[in-house]
Structure 1
Amino acid sequence: MPMDFHDPRNQSSYTTRVADASWLELIAKQVELKGKRAADIGCGGGIYTKALLALGAEHVIGVDYSAEMLQGAKQNVGETQEVEWIQGAADRTTLPSKHVDVVLERALIHHLTDLQGCFREAHRILKAGGMLIVQDRTPEDSVLPGSDTHIRGYIFEKFPGLMETEKSRRHDSETVTEALRESGFCDIRELKWWEPRKVHPDPEALFEDVRRRTGRSILHELSDGELDELIAYMQSKLQGSGPIAEKDPWTIWFAKR
C-alpha cells in the first residue's frame, strides 16, 4: 500500500541523509540564496531545509501537509530562529503573498495531480523576480536500468508491475514546463542531474536501508515478503561489491516569477 506520511512510524524516514555537496554546488551556480528568504514546500524531514540554510538563506520556511513529517524535520534541523515550520498544502501554504525570494519543491510534484494549483501558489508567495526550483523524476528518469550506483532500477527489474505505478505518478517534462508557463513563470530552464544519494560502506548496509524503506516511498507498495525477495535479487546483483555510491536520476526546472 502507498506510504502513509501521517504515520508516526514514518516520521524519521526522510531525516537520515544530508544533501550532497554536489547538489549544493549546483544550486549555488543557478540561484542566489545568500541573505534570501526561502520556502521549502513539501519539506519532508528537513534535509533540504538545512541545505538551503547551508547555501546562505537568511530564513527558511519548511512547509509540509503532514504533522508527523514536520515533527521529524524539527528534530532533524534542531532549534534555530532561522527556520519556521508551517503545516500546509502545496496549493494552500497559508504564507502571505510576495513573501519569499526562492521556493524549493523537491520530490513533491509526483504526489500531486494539480500541477497548476501548486505552481500558482508558488508564484503567489514569491516576490517579483523570485525563483522556483522544482526537482523530480520524469517517466523517462524512472525507467533507467539498475546498476551498482542506480539501485532504484533494481526495484522495477524485480517487480515490473511497479513500473506502471511509478510512471503513472510522474509528470513528463513538457507537462511540467507548460504548467509552469501557464502559472505565470518565465525564463524556464531544465537540466538532468544524477544526484549522489548515499555511500553505503558495503551491500549489507544498503540492504538494511532498503529493509527499513528509508526515504523510498515506492517500497511501501511491497509486502514484507516481497521486500525480502527484492533484497535477495539485489544480493545476486551486488555480490562481492565493496562500498556502494548510490545515485538517483532527477530532472530540475528553474523558473522565474
Structure 2
Amino acid sequence: MTRAETAYHGELGDYFAALATNNASNAHTDRPAMLKLAGDVGGMRALDVGCGAGHYAAELRNRGAAKVIGVEGSETLLRAARERLGKGVELHHHDLEEPLTFLKDASFDLAVMALVYHHIEARKQLLAELRRVLRPGGALLVSTTHPAAEWTWFGGSYFANERVEAPLDGGFTIHYRRMTLEKFLGELLGAGFVLEQLVEPRAMEEAREIDPRRYEKTHTVPYFLAVRLRRP
C-alpha cells in the first residue's frame, strides 16, 4: 500500500495558506465554530495539530493561551506560519502519520485538529498520541468534512470507506479518507475520549459578501462537522 500523503506541499501549500486566511469555508465557517468550542483558553497550553499556515495558533495565542505549539507536515505551510506567528509560537515540522515522540505526556490542556483528521491514515496511532499528551480533563477539538456532504458530493454508497480525490480551484487536487459518522465518532470514542459537544457549522455573516454561494450552501446542506471531546 502506498503511504498516504497528508500535507499540502509546494504550490498547493502556498495556495491553501492564502485561501484559508479569509475564505468562507476555513476563515468564516470552520474557524469560528472550533474557537467557540474551545471557549476560554486563557492560561492554557495548547497544541495545534496540522497547524497549516498558523491561523488557529494565532487565534489561540491572541485569546490568551499561555503556550501554543504547532505541528505540521508541510514545510511550505510552516514557512507561512512562521511569517504569521513570529517567534511567539513553537513550531515543529513533523509527519502526522508518525508518533509525536517529541511531546511529553500530559503536557497540554487543549489539542485542536482542524480539518486534518480525514487526511490521516494512522488515525488510531494519532489519537493514542493525543490522549497521551493531553492531561486528564484536557479537551480535544476535531473538525472534518461532514459525512453526509461526502455522500452528496461523491455519490455511491454512504457507507463507502475509501480515499477520494477532490478538485480545488486553481487546478489543484487533494486526497483524503471518506468515512461515515459512525466511523468518525467510533474512532474518537474508541480511543478513550468522551464526547462533550457536536456542532454542524454554518458560515458566519461575514462570508456572505466573500462567497455568497458558499454561504448559502453551508446554511442549506451539511458541510462540516466539529466535536469537542474530553480526555478522562
TM-score, normalising length from structure 1? Answer: 0.65
Q: Are positions 1:125 and 2:150 aligned together?
A: no
| Superimposed CA distance per residue, residues 203-252 of structure 1 (whole angstroms, 9 cap, x where no aligned partner) | xxxxxxxxxxxxxxxxxxxxxxxxxxxxxxxxxxxxxxxx6363452101
Gaps of 5+ in 2: 156-162, 167-174
Matches within 5 A, 1:1-257: 5-7=8-10, 9-16=11-18, 17-18=21-22, 19-20=27-28, 23-24=31-32, 27-28=35-36, 31-75=39-83, 77-81=84-88, 83-90=89-96, 91-93=98-100, 94-144=102-152, 165-166=165-166, 169-196=177-204, 199=207, 244=212, 246-247=214-215, 249-257=223-231
Shift of 1:117: 1.3
SS of residue matched to 2:201: strand
Gaps of 5+ in 1: 145-152, 158-162, 203-242
The one-letter code of the counterpart of 1:255 is: L
| Superimposed CA distance per residue, residues 2-37 of structure 1 (whole angstroms, 9 cap, x where no aligned partner) | 997232x33432332153399447633553311111
Pick closer, same or farther for the CA change 1:136–1:187 going to 2, 3 Å: closer
The one-letter code of the counterpart of 2:103 is: L
Distance (whole Å) between structure 1 residues aligned to residue 33 and residue 197 of structure 2: 17
The one-letter code of the counterpart of 2:93 is: Q
| Contact 2:29/2:203, CA 8 A, preserved across alignment | no
Distance (whole Å) between structure 1 residues aligned to residue 205 and residue 144 of structure 2: 14
SS of residue matched to 1:195: coil
The one-letter code of the counterpart of 1:79 is: G
| Contact 1:14/1:47, CA 8 A, preserved across alignment | no
The one-letter code of the counterpart of 1:87 is: H
Shift of 1:115: 2.0
In percent, how many aligned pairs have the same letter? Answer: 22
Which residue number corresponds to residue 208 of structure 1?
none
Shift of 1:188: 4.4
SS of residue matched to 1:12: helix
Larger mean CA deviation between 181-190 and 114-123 belongs to 181-190
Which residue number corresponds to residue 226 of structure 1?
none
The one-letter code of the counterpart of 1:89 is: D
Pick closer, same or farther for the CA change 1:12–1:188 going to 2, 3 Å: same
The one-letter code of the counterpart of 1:15 is: A
| Superimposed CA distance per residue, residues 147-204 of structure 1 (whole angstroms, 9 cap, x where no aligned partner) | xxxxxx7xx79xxxxx9645972222211211112212123432211234974868xx
Pick closer, same or farther for the CA change 1:25–1:184 going to 2, 3 Å: closer
Which residue number corresponds to residue 171 of structure 2?
none
Distance (whole Å) between structure 2 residues aligned to residue 142 and residue 97 of structure 1: 35
Report the aligned-residue RMSD. 3.3
